[in-house]
Structure 1
C-alpha cells in the first residue's frame, strides 16, 4: 500500500498568481490606438498607456508617485538621533543608580563620597563628553556599572549593525565568545578585502571565509563580488547617514564610537573595512546626505537601513523614469519595488512589462526600418474595423435603420469559390472546405491508413479544419470605384479639435473598402500647405501639423492623376475641409500661401475641380465649422459640378463619409442596371 502523502495549502507567494485572470490586451490596444489617432506616434502612444495604466492596474506614473510619497514619508517621519537619545537615557539611569548607592552606603568614607558626588555633579552637558569622563570611574553600584557597560555594548552593536544588518539584535545577549568571533570575522574580512584589492585572492579564500563566518551573512553571497556588493551598499548608506546628521550629532557619535565595546579596536577594524569597500566600489554614493524632519528617532542600524531604503527608492524612481522614456520595463527591479511599495505594485509592474512584450510579439506593434515603433497592418485593420462599426452605428441612428450594404459585399454570387483571405465576409462553401480538409489529412504522412478505419482523419476519425482549408463563394461586383479621399491637414484642423475625427473617418472608409468592396481602389490625399498621397498607416500615425495653408488646388491635382490612372472605374471624390483655399501650387512646383484667399488661388482651385468633373466624378464636400466664406465657396463649387455639400458635426464625420460613399456607389449601381 502506498504511503499516504501529506499536503499543505497556503497563499501562493512565488511570483504572479497563476490563477489570476489574464490581462486584457484589447484594452491596451484601444488605448494606444486612441492616442495614435490623436497624433501621438505609436511609440509615444505605447509609453502613454504604460504611464497611465489600465483598469485595475497602476501605471508607471502612479508607481513613480508612490515611490516619491514613500520617500517623503521616510524623511518626514524619522530623525537620526536615536542612538544618542538611548545613550543619554542609559547614562542618566547609571548616574541615578550611583547616587542612590552613595546615599545608602554608610560605610563609605565621607571624603570619598564627597569626591564621587562632585564627579557626578560636574559631568559635561555633552553626552559623549560625559561618557568619556566616566570611562575610568570606579562605580560603587553594581547596577550602575552594568548600565554603563550596556552603553558600551549598545555602541558596539550599533556600529556593527550599521555595516552588517541584524547585528544589533543578534548580539543583544552576546557572550565574550560571541564578541571574540565577531572580532575574528572582522579581521579575516579585512584581510580578504585587502587581498582582493591587490588581486591576490582566490576562490578558495572566499570559500574558507564563508565556511568559517558564513552564518553571520544571512544574504548567503555566492562569490566575493556578491559579498562586496552587499557590504559596500550598506557601508555607503552608513556614510550617508553620518553626513545626514547635524554637525553636533555627528561629533557626539564619533566621540562615543571610541567607547564601543570599551575599546577603540572595533572602530579601527570597521574603518579599515569601510576604506577597502569604498576603494572597491567607488561608484556608490558615499558622500550624499538627506534632510530628516521627523521626531521618530532612529539608531545607527535602523538609520542605515532607512538610508538604504532611500537609495533603493531613488534607483526605482530612475528605472520608472527610464521606462517612461522608452527603456524596456524589464529593467525595473520588480522584487525591490514590491518590497518598498507592496505586492500590488509588483503585480502592476509585471503586468505592464508583459503587455509591452505581448504587444510586440503579437504583431500589433512593430519596429520600422527607421527604428521607430509603428502600428502593424493587423493593428490598423483592427482599429479600422472598430471605427467602421462605430460609423455604421451612427449611420443607422441618422437614417433610422442600419444600411445593409455594410453587412456584405456588393454583387451576386458567381458559383466559383476561392481561398479565404483576411477580411473576407462572403459565405463559406462548406462542402469545398471539408473536402480540402479530408484531402489534406489523408495525404498527411503522420496519418497513415488504419487497416480497420482506412484513411486516418485525425483523432477518433474527426475532420479537423484549418484556415488554409476554408473556401468562400465568390461574388461579382456590379461596378468598381476609384475613391479619392482628400483630407484637410492645415493648422485649423488640429486647433479646432477636428484632427482625430478626420483620421478616424479615413481609417473607417479604408477598412470598408478593403473588406467589403475589395475591387475598389482608394487614394488618401492630405492637403495643408501642399498635398501628398499617403498610405493608411502613415495617415494613422501622422501628428498634427502646425502649418498655415489649405492647398485644395494641389489635392485636386493629385485626385485627377489618380482617376486618370484608373480608367473604367467609377470616380468618387470625397473632400473634408474646414477652410477656404489659401494656397496653390505654382508652375514651378512650389506652394504659395495667401490669406485672405487670393482670387488667383480660388480660380486655380476651380479650374482643377473642373478637370476632375470631366472624369464624371461623384463629388461630395464635407464642411466642418461655420465659416460663412467656406459655406458660400463650397456651395458654389458643388453647384458647379453637380456635387453635394454635407455639414456634419466632427463626431458624425465618419458616418457621413461612409454614408455618402455608399450612396455614390448605389447611384452608379442603379445607373449600370438601367
Structure 2
C-alpha cells in the first residue's frame, strides 16, 4: 500500500508540541510584577497572543484584521447600484421604443410618445405603468424583460444568498420551485413554533432544496440565523438610502415579489425571522463611501458582513464587564477571518483553561486569582531578575539547582566524599586533575582543528566547597502600600521586591521565618499567595508605627532567631495607632506620631534587630526621619532607584545573613 504525505491544512498541526502553560504564566508575570492585576495580565496576554507557538495571533491582531476588513467593505461601493442599473435599462427600453415610433406619422405613434413623456420620475412607478404597455419595438421588449429578470434575481438574492445564479435564466419551473420552497420553509417554521418540528423534517427539506442554500446549514436554527441576518441586512440597506431611493427600491421589491407570486410567503417569512431574532439591528443605517454601484444582492451581502464585523469587533475588544473568550462567536470569526483565526482563538481559550486546570489560576466568586503555586513561580521569576542584576562575580548569589542547603560557603574546599551534597569547586577540581598528570593531548586532525587539550579527572581530583551551619533568622519586610507609592511609580518595584525576598527565603533559607507586612493607614500581614495580586491602598496615611508593632510580635514569637527588619517606604510616618485600635492621620506628621514610631524603633534596637530603611523618595522630612532611625538603631539607610530596589533589598538581606 502506497502513502503520500503533505502539509496539514485543516486546522492546527496535530503533531505540534503542546503549549507550555508555564510560559503563559511567565508572560503574565511580567505584567503582574509591574503592578498589574491577574485579570488584567491575562487579558493583556490574550490580546498580544502566544509567543513561540506557531505564530498564533492574539485578539489585537484579529481586531486589526476585522477593522481593516470593515474599512475595505465601506469603501467598496454604493448601495443604489440596482436602482441605477434599473433606471439605465428603463431609459434604454424607452429610447428603443421612441426610435421605433419616430418614423411612424400616425396619431397612435404620437399618443404613445406622449404616454412615454408622461412616465413618472419614480423608477418603480414607471416600471409599474409599463408592465401593461404593448411594445412596438422588439428590442425594447427584450430590454424591459431583461430589467424584470434583473429585479427578480436581485430581490431574491437579497433574501437568499446565491439565488441570483440559480435564476440566471428565466425558467417558469425554477420559479415554481422557489415558490414551493418558500411555502415548505414557512410551514416548517410554523411546525417548529408549535413544537412539532424534528431534525428529520429539516433533513428532508435540505435534500430537496439544499442547492438553494450554499451555506449548507446543519439544522433549522442555523438556517434561521442565516436568513435572519440577511433579511436584517436588507432592511438596513433600505434604512441607509435617501427617502426617495428607499421609496423607489421598496416599490421595485414589492412589484417583483407580486409578479413572482411570493409576496405573501415573503411576508410570512419576514415576520417569523423578526420574531425569532429581534436582537439583530434591523433598521440601523450603515454608510458605504465607495464609488462603484453595487447590485442589491451584493449590497446586502456587504451590509450583512459589516454587521457581523461590528459584533465581532465588540467581542474581540473584551472591554465590557464580565468579558470572556466564550463570548466570541467562532462562526463569525470563521466567516470574517478564515479557519486559521478559529484555530488561533481556540489556542487562546486553551491557555485560559490550562492555567486553571493546572492549578495556576482560580476563579473565586467570579474573581480571577493566582494560586500559591503561581505565586511561587512568580517569586522565582522576580528573584531571577534580581540576581541577574547583581555582580556576576559574587559567589552564592546565583541559582544553584543542585546545591545543598546545609549552610553558607566559607571560601575553602575539601576533597569530595561519597554522599556529599555541597557544590563542586570546579576550579580546584580541574587544578587537581592537571597536577596529577591528567592532561591528554588530542591527536591528529582533531588537535589541529581545536588547538585544545583535554583533562582527565579521577575521583580523587574532585573537591567540594565547604559550608558552615546557618542560624535561623526571623525576617520582617515592611512595605509601604500608601497611595503615594502608586503616584511616584514605585509600587510595582516594591511588590516585585516582596515576591523576590519571599522566594529567596523559601528556596535558600527554608529554616527562616519570613513575614511580609504592608502598611498604609493600617498595617496587615500579607500572605504569600496574595502578594502577586496585591494592589496599593487608595487611602491617606503611612502608619509605620502599626507595622513595627506587628513586626515586633513576629520577632518575639521567634526569640532564638536572628532578627532581620527591612523597611521600604517613600514617606515619613503620618499615622499612628490609638489605644482604641483606630488609626489617627495627620499631615504634616504630628509629634505624637513621630514619637510613637521612634518608640517602636527603640524596641527593635533592644531586640538586637538591625533596622535598614530603603528610601524611595528624596523628601527632606523623610530623610530627617530615617537618619534619626539609623542613629537610634544603628541600621543603614539606602536610597535606591525603583528599578534597583529589589537588588538593594536582596543584597542587604544576604549581607546580613552572611554576617550572622
TM range (shorter): 0.7 to 0.9
Aligned to 1:653: 645
Within 5 Å, give how 1:247-396 maps onto structure 2.
Answer: 247-260=243-256, 263=259, 265-322=261-318, 325-342=321-338, 345-368=341-364, 370-396=365-391
Count of residues in correspondence between the two structures = 607
Distance, in Å, in 2 between the alignment partners of 1:280 and 1:657 is 64
Distance, in Å, in 2 between the alignment partners of 1:46 and 1:515 is 27
Q: Which shows bigger deviation, 343-352 or 543-552?
A: 343-352
Aligned to 1:90: 89
Q: After TM superposition, give the deviation of residue 204 of structure 1 in Å.
A: 5.9
Q: After TM superposition, give the deviation of residue 522 of structure 1 in Å.
A: 0.6
- Contact 1:411/1:476 (<8 A) preserved: yes
Distance, in Å, in 1 between the alignment partners of 2:15 and 2:275 is 48
- Contact 2:408/2:658 (<8 A) preserved: no
- Contact 1:155/1:261 (<8 A) preserved: no
2:554 to 562, 567, 578: 562
- Contact 1:152/1:259 (<8 A) preserved: no
1:511 and 2:503 are equivalent in the alignment: yes
Q: After TM superposition, give the deviation of residue 480 of structure 1 in Å.
A: 0.9
Q: Which shows bigger deviation, 630-639 or 48-57?
A: 48-57
SS in 1 for 2:169: coil
* Cα distance change on mapping 1:544 and 1:344 into 2, 3 Å: farther
Q: After TM superposition, give the deviation of residue 427 of structure 1 in Å.
A: 6.6
Q: After TM superposition, give the deviation of residue 581 of structure 1 in Å.
A: 1.7
TM-score of the aligned structures, taking structure 1 as reference length: 0.82
1:594 and 2:590 are equivalent in the alignment: no
* Cα distance change on mapping 1:328 and 1:134 into 2, 3 Å: same
Distance, in Å, in 2 between the alignment partners of 1:200 and 1:564 is 77
Q: After TM superposition, give the deviation of residue 266 of structure 1 in Å.
A: 2.9
Q: Deviations over 1:471-513 (max 9, x none)?
A: xx99873311111111122222221111111111111111111
- Contact 2:92/2:140 (<8 A) preserved: yes
- Contact 1:32/1:49 (<8 A) preserved: yes
Q: After TM superposition, give the deviation of residue 71 of structure 1 in Å.
A: 3.2
Q: Deviations over 1:51-84 (max 9, x none)?
A: 3445565443453454345335433543221111
Q: After TM superposition, give the deviation of residue 563 of structure 1 in Å.
A: 0.9
Within 5 Å, give how 1:538-553 maps onto structure 2.
Answer: 538-553=530-545
* Cα distance change on mapping 1:490 and 1:284 into 2, 3 Å: closer
Aligned to 1:67: 66
- Contact 2:76/2:290 (<8 A) preserved: yes
Aligned to 1:461: none
Aligned to 1:110: 106
2:489 to 486, 490, 497: 497
* Cα distance change on mapping 1:230 and 1:591 into 2, 3 Å: same
Within 5 Å, give how 1:398-417 maps onto structure 2.
Answer: 401-406=393-398, 407=400, 408=403, 409=405, 411=407
- Contact 1:124/1:130 (<8 A) preserved: yes
Q: Which shows bigger deviation, 308-317 or 13-22?
A: 13-22
TM-score of the aligned structures, taking structure 2 as reference length: 0.83
Distance, in Å, in 2 between the alignment partners of 1:412 and 1:582 is 40
1:181 to 172, 177, 180: 177
Aligned to 1:79: 78
- Contact 2:497/2:649 (<8 A) preserved: yes
Q: Which shows bigger deviation, 534-543 or 251-260?
A: 251-260
Distance, in Å, in 1 between the alignment partners of 2:649 and 2:254 is 86
1:582 and 2:578 are equivalent in the alignment: no
Structure 2 unmatched ranges of 5 or more: 410-415, 425-464
Structure 1 unmatched ranges of 5 or more: 419-424, 429-472, 669-674
